[in-house]
């Protein structure tokens, strides 16, 4: 290994360590921070953002990259794998470096300071159902997002830049086409289910003790493969996963009358955690130890949450334990009633409470809203009305308040525009992976019935996790499944999962 490459890796890992500290402070802000300490945390986050920006934009990184590029990225010998690894690191590090050095330090620290303040403003606005109080923060975030796109030479297409930050290689036109095809296939299925007399039994979940819920979801997530010696799960207003392979922080939330909420949100975040724990630990801080984008990330969380955890095979194994933990609460609930409740299909205003058939419409709604915001067609002040109208059009429901409408999601408080499409792209990829792995291992259901999820996790480790940022999402999908990313497998999966329940 050349001295230049060793020095580059050291520089990249130093910047990465600063980034992980920022992530931990962000996790702490949503889990532990005293309510009157928000102003200090905003300054801490701004300072760390400034330090990370300086480390990631260190001129020596640029010089080292130029030196390695001049060597055609073969500084460690002739072995194909080694040379290829170096090419990936140099290629992706160049992208990161060029983006960082184009952003002024005061812009980066100011954006971090705004994100911290905006999170607390959003939490309070949501609690008080007061969109007007949050609107100024959102306007500032939108202005900064457009300004950032301008710094990177994408001022003419700022929303494409926002999308590409989360899902490299993606743009609004590509997503629009994929979503249109998905929507066309979804509508007939949803109409058929809506016309079906079959309904999940209501009010069967009452009085599920929080501590028992906590114990059960811990058992489930450990069985799926999450390593709690390198991670933990806590409680926050909005479930999320933060951290890198060596230290993963997940959160969930609990409701005594809705135990499936904490369970499935925990499984979802465990999918994220498993991906991060599966990235090559020795390569942490370099592109080979980083995820391939949020669409790929969501494919992992959604696959475990939906294809796996809503399956009969999964519940064949876990239902006895679930009943053991909650014998009185489930005494009058039959196995079929429980399984139908797990796979209930009914429109809801809240994205994170949505069934997986309607869920994609929630994402299409947010994509359309963001697209209009960035084009200037929609002003921040007009967001509640636009949101409510589109909710009525897509979901057939009009929010009764902004709390369950435009204020429901945390993402915009952090300026995370372009993130929402990742959820739906992840659903598509998850379904495509699902049919691929089931063709490879036809006996997966039998393994799930025994509580063995190791073969699936091992396959994902090899095909997805261990690849790091070697491939962008669409190329990764092509390599693993042999096809372009397409909605057809998601539509097939939804038909096969829900038609037997509702349309027979």
- Mean pLDDT, rounded, of the chain: 95
Q: Report the distance separating Cα 75 and Cα 70, nearest Å.
A: 10
Provide the pLDDT for residue 244.
Answer: 85
185, two tokens: 């296939």
Is the per-residue pLDDT at 100 higher than 90?
A: yes
- Active site members: 269
Domain membership flag for residue 163:
no
List, for residues 29-51, the tens digit of each pLDDT value. Answer: 999 999 899 999 999 999 999 99
Domain membership flag for residue 59:
yes
Of 156, 188, 218, the one marking the end of a domain is 156
Kindly indicate the confidence band of residue 246, based on its pLDDT and cuts at 50, 70 and 90.
confident
**Contact, 100 vs 56, CB < 8 A?**
yes
Percent of the chain whose predicted confidence (pLDDT) is above 70: 98
Domain membership flag for residue 150:
yes
Provide the pLDDT for residue 73.
Answer: 54
Is the per-residue pLDDT at 441 higher than 70?
A: yes
Kindly indicate the confidence band of residue 76, based on its pLDDT and cuts at 50, 70 and 90.
very low
List, for residues 206-236, the tens digit of each pLDDT value. Answer: 999 999 999 999 999 999 999 999 999 999 9
Backbone phi and psi for residue 488, each to the nearest 5 degrees, phi listed first: -65, -30
Q: Report the distance separating Cα 373 and Cα 382, nearest Å.
A: 10
Question: Span 189-213, mean pLDDT?
Answer: 95
Question: Span 146-160, mean pLDDT?
Answer: 97
Domain membership flag for residue 162:
no
**Residues 6 or more apart from 238 whose CB is under 8 A from it?**
30, 251, 253, 352, 409, 410
Q: Report the distance separating Cα 289 and Cα 193, nearest Å.
A: 43
Q: How many domains would you assign to the chain?
A: 2
Angle between helices 359-375 and 158-166 (to 10 degrees): 140
146: closest CA among 348, 461, 407, 415?
Answer: 415
In a shared domain, residues 135 and 231: no
In a shared domain, residues 187 and 291: yes
In 10 A of CB 328, how many CB atoms?
8
In a shared domain, residues 268 and 393: yes
224: domain CATH number is: 1.10.1370.30
List, for residues 122-142, the tens digit of each pLDDT value. Answer: 999 999 999 999 999 999 999
Q: Report the distance separating Cα 420 and Cα 408, nearest Å.
A: 13
Collapse the DSSP code of 74 into the 3-class scheme (helix H, G, I; strand E, B; otherwise coil) and give the result: coil
Domain membership flag for residue 435:
yes
483, two tokens: 């096809």
Question: Span 106-115, mean pLDDT?
Answer: 95
Is the per-residue pLDDT at 455 higher than 50?
A: yes
In a shared domain, residues 336 and 385: yes
**Contact, 62 vs 101, CB < 8 A?**
yes
322: closest CA among 217, 227, 201?
Answer: 217
Q: Report the distance separating Cα 359 and Cα 339, nearest Å.
A: 19
Tokens 């994170």 belong to residue: 352
In a shared domain, residues 370 and 493: yes
In a shared domain, residues 315 and 414: yes
- Find the domain containing 263 and state its range: 172-275+286-502
**Contact, 363 vs 424, CB < 8 A?**
yes
In a shared domain, residues 12 and 118: yes
467: closest CA among 279, 223, 331, 262?
Answer: 279
In a shared domain, residues 219 and 347: yes
**Contact, 305 vs 264, CB < 8 A?**
yes
Domain membership flag for residue 249:
yes
Domain membership flag for residue 111:
yes
Percent of the chain whose predicted confidence (pLDDT) is above 90: 94
In a shared domain, residues 224 and 304: yes
In a shared domain, residues 249 and 152: no
Element (H, E) at 243: strand 241-244
Domain membership flag for residue 229:
yes
In a shared domain, residues 123 and 184: no
In a shared domain, residues 122 and 248: no
């Amino acid at each position: 290994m050349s001295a230049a490459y060793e020095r580059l890796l050291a520089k990249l890992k130093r910047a990465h360590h600063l980034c992980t500290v920022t992530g931990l402070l962000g996790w702490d802000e949503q889990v532990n921070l005293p309510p009157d300490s928000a102003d200090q945390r905003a300054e801490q986050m701004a300072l760390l953002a400034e330090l990370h920006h300086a480390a990631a934009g260190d001129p020596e990184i640029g010089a080292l990259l130029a030196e390695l590029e001049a060597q055609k990225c073969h500084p460690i010998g002739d072995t194909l794998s080694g040379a290829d690894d170096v090419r990936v690191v140099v290629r992706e590090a160049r992208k990161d470096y060029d983006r960082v050095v184009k952003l002024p330090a005061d812009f980066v620290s100011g954006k971090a300071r705004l994100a911290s303040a905006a999170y607390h403003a959003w939490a309070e606005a949501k609690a008080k159902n007061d969109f007007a109080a949050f609107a100024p923060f959102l306007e500032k975030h939108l202005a900064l997002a457009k300004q950032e796109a301008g710094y990177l030479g994408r001022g003419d297409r700022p929303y494409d830049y926002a999308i590409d930050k989360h899902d490299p290689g993606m743009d609004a036109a590509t997503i629009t086409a994929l979503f249109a095809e998905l929507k066309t296939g979804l509508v007939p299925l949803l109409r058929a289910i809506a016309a079906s007399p079959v309904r999940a039994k209501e009010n069967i979940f009452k009085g599920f003790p929080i501590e028992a819920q906590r114990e059960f979801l811990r058992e489930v997530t450990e069985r799926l493969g999450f390593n709690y010696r390198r991670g933990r799960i806590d409680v926050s207003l909005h479930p999320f996963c933060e951290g890198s392979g060596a230290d993963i922080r997940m959160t969930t939330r609990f409701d005594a009358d809705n135990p499936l909420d904490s369970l499935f949100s925990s499984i979802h975040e465990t999918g994220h955690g498993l991906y991060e724990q599966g990235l090559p630990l020795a390569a942490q801080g370099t592109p080979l130890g980083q995820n391939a984008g949020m669409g790929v990330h969501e494919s992992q969380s959604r696959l475990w949450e939906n294809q796996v955890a809503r399956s009969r095979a999964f519940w064949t194994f876990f239902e006895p334990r679930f009943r053991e933990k909650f014998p009185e609460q489930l005494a009058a609930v039959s196995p079929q009633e429980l399984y139908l409740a797990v796979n209930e299909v009914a429109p809801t205003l809240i994205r994170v409470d949505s069934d997986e058939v309607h869920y994609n419409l929630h994402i299409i709604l947010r994509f359309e809203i963001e697209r209009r915001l960035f084009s200037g067609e929609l002003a921040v002040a007009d967001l509640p009305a636009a949101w409510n109208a589109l909710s009525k059009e897509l979901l057939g429901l009009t929010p009764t308040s902004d709390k369950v409408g435009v204020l429901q999601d945390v993402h915009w408080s952090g300026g995370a525009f372009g993130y929402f499409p990742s959820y739906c792209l992840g659903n598509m990829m998850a379904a495509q992976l699902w049919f691929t792995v089931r063709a490879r291992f036809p006996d997966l259901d039998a393994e799930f019935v025994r509580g063995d999820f190791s073969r699936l996790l091992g396959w994902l480790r090899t095909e997805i996790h261990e690849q790091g940022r070697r491939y962008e999402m669409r190329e990764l999908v092509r390599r693993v499944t042999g096809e372009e990313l397409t909605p057809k497998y998601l539509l097939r999966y939804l038909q096969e999962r829900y038609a037997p329940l509702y349309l027979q």
